[in-house]
Amino acid sequence: MASREAALERAYRSFDEGFRERLAALVAIPSTSQDEGHLDDCRRYLADALQPWLKGMGFTVAVHPNPEPGFGPILTGARIEDPSRPTVLLYGHGDTVRGLDDQWSEGLKPWTLTERDGRWYGRGTVDNKGQHALNLAALEAVLAERGGRLGFNIKVLIETCEERGSAGLRRFVFDHADELAADVLIASDGPRVEPELPTVATGTRGTWHFDLTVPLRQGGVHSGHWGGLTPDPAVILSHALASICDRRGKILVRGWLAGDTVPPAIREVLRGCPVGGAGEAATIDENWGEPGLTSAEKIYGWNSFIVLAMISGRPENPVNAVAPDARATCQIRYTVDTDPSTFEAVLRRHLDEHGFPEVRIEKAGLRMPASRTSPDHPWVQWAVRSIGSALDKRVQVIPNTSGGLPGDVFVDALGVPLVWVPHSYNGCKQHGPDEHAIPATLREGIGAFAAMYWDLGEAGTPNR
């Protein structure tokens, strides 16, 4: 007789006996959306790799052109058994960041899955091929255990432009809202709070970008004749940045923040939440950022200011001249507790008040909005119980991941609650060379999704 335990056993067996090879085939498709010439690879990933797999599980599948010309296609699929049963939407993205082939460690390549020191290396192993492929493999196991039925309905959307800000996705989802209607989005991206601790995130931080520029003259002037007499744009820009953020990373533009500290409800959710597993990727400095906040509160409940790049003169070939201009490209990672539409005006006022009228704000705008479902939402709590019982572990709930995802699109267009269940960790080096997955974390992930998929076919789901 079919059972939850047997479904989990099937899922673990499928992971142990073939998932690595399946993931290797997906990684081998160089479906980066950030390098020119790979648009066909993005199409191939959807049409040749995912479409047959989904059709084999009884999905009706289509690959659609992106409504924004020049951007990657979008796959949708649906498997409807009974409209009276819950309908889940599974999201993922098949595009990756650029390969950075020449920057990987010796013996590692972005488009070849390589096992080394207990890790699986390759571009997309965690962001996001490995994560959505794992969820599909879990679905396959539950479908087999129930003899070809699930007991619920599932829809799939896999885009190929997430690494370019999910261009076209909002328009596509609004245009196909009836087709994509669901009770809940349950998907995977980003890291767990620690590699060994199952995590449920209920949203994501957003990103707001801008450049600060100090354009003073048409060209550089002799440093001997003019140094000490004419303003240096790099010095002005450095002091402007120092007025925005202090030496220890505290944001000084307080109008960018929701108040003096994390909202009480969010602080309670994050009580005792660890942050770890960075490995050699980076180190956590407890004294960096907003004083008085825990590490979890800083990245899951607070805004952060980052200088992504800055330049003045010609660093690759300096000349003896006072530079004509300086530029810094900056970013704010923000939570839903703050309003990004006010950020530019607040910054302009701050710069003027601190004596920097010559510093311009350029290219300011929202790249990806923040999103959040209440951590005590019935679907969130249902997922926590399902995962916890299957893995026999505590599940950490966070109000949003530290990174960005297009969850806002699905909230705005479909009105669905968000349940993100990540299978990665902070030190996985996504977006850089040597991206990798931890097999043990992936294996727990397939068990978590097999449990949820089984429980969706039983009584006791929210609103049913």
pLDDT tens digits, one per residue of 294-327: 999 999 999 999 999 999 999 999 999 999 999 9
* Whether residue 402 has pLDDT greater than 90: no
What is the C-alpha separation between 278 and 400, in angstroms, rounded? Answer: 18
| Average pLDDT of the residues of the chain | 96
66-70 average pLDDT score: 96
Neighbours of 14 (CB within 10 A): 18
Share of the chain above pLDDT 90, in %: 96
| Tens of pLDDT, residues 347-394 | 999 999 999 999 999 999 999 999 999 999 999 999 999 999 999 999
Placement of tokens 């957003």 in the chain: 206
Share of the chain above pLDDT 70, in %: 99
88-94 average pLDDT score: 98
CB 429 within 8 A of CB 281: yes
Tokens of 448: 């978590």
| Tens of pLDDT, residues 421-451 | 999 999 999 999 999 999 999 999 999 999 9
| Tens of pLDDT, residues 264-300 | 999 999 999 999 765 665 788 999 999 999 999 999 9
CB 414 within 8 A of CB 181: yes
pLDDT of residue 279: 62
Q: DSSP character for 27?
A: H
What is the C-alpha separation between 279 and 274, in angstroms, rounded? Answer: 15
pLDDT of residue 281: 59
pLDDT of residue 404: 86
Pinpoint the alpha helices (H) of 227-337: 233-244, 264-269, 295-300
pTM: 0.93
Q: CA 52, 55, 59: angle at the middle one, nearest 5?
A: 145
CB 396 within 8 A of CB 430: no
Residues 6+ apart with CB under 8 A from 444: 198, 391, 423
pLDDT of residue 278: 59
Residues 6+ apart with CB under 8 A from 186: 88, 89, 90, 383, 419, 421, 452
At position 394, the amino acid (one-letter code) is: R
179-208 average pLDDT score: 97
pLDDT of residue 451: 98
